[in-house]
Amino acid sequence: MTSELASIRRIVTGNNARGQSCIVEDGPSPAVRFVAERPGYRVTNIWRTSGSPAAIDAADDIARHQGVAPPQDGTVIRIIDIPPEASDPDERKRQAAATFGKLFADADHRLEDKRHPGMHVTESVDYAIVLEGEMTAILDKDETIMRKGDVLIQRGTNHAWANRSSKPARIAFILISGRR
């Protein structure tokens, strides 16, 4: 299964044995995930931290990351390619159930929410940055269309994302572990 958008290149820096800054990795992320029931949907987990303050020289363990939420007191950055939303409401519900069931089971998913079958809550502060295309951010009382360069700060609220355009969209998420 592929996306119409190019794969994500991940570049990781570090210091060599002499203390000089250098590139230690350059290539695709080892944590790319797909949902067969949602062709064109691709999640690329880029990096995570496991505490705060973050250990600068911590080993890369993004391939072990499961679910939507960042580690306790940590962060996760991911980029999601989202194809245009299905026009059939039953298909949208099936795709949302598959996505949350296979990739994001830790989210408080609200499949039966009348606003959108992708409604969910995470206990995190999320920075959502549209990189390509347009996305609709859906909340209980409001929704807004976001375009390339727009940034939404999602603070533990019930929400969903919909690509109501005719082209794929790409959105970056930086999730920071939160508390109520």
Please tell me the distance from the alpha carbon of residue 135 to that of residue 138, in angstroms, as a whole number: 9
User: How do the domains of the chain map onto residue ranges?
Assistant: 29-177
* Residue 92 CB-density burial (10 A; 0-12 exposed, 13-18 middle, 19+ buried): middle
Instruction: Find out whether 84 and 52 touch, Cβ atoms under 8 Å.
Output: no
Distance CA 83, CA 71 (A): 28
Each residue's pLDDT, cut to its tens digit, for the chain (180 residues) gives 556 899 999 999 999 999 999 999 999 999 999 999 999 999 999 999 999 999 999 999 999 999 999 999 999 999 999 999 999 999 999 999 999 999 999 999 999 999 999 999 999 999 999 999 999 999 999 999 999 999 999 999 999 999 999 999 999 999 999 998
The amino acid occupying position 56 is I
Topology classification of domain 29-177: Jelly Rolls (2.60.120)
pLDDT for res 4: 82
- Supply the pTM of this predicted model: 0.94
Compute the distance between CA of residue 38 and CA of residue 35 in angstroms, rounded to an integer: 5
Q: What is the pLDDT of residue 3?
A: 64
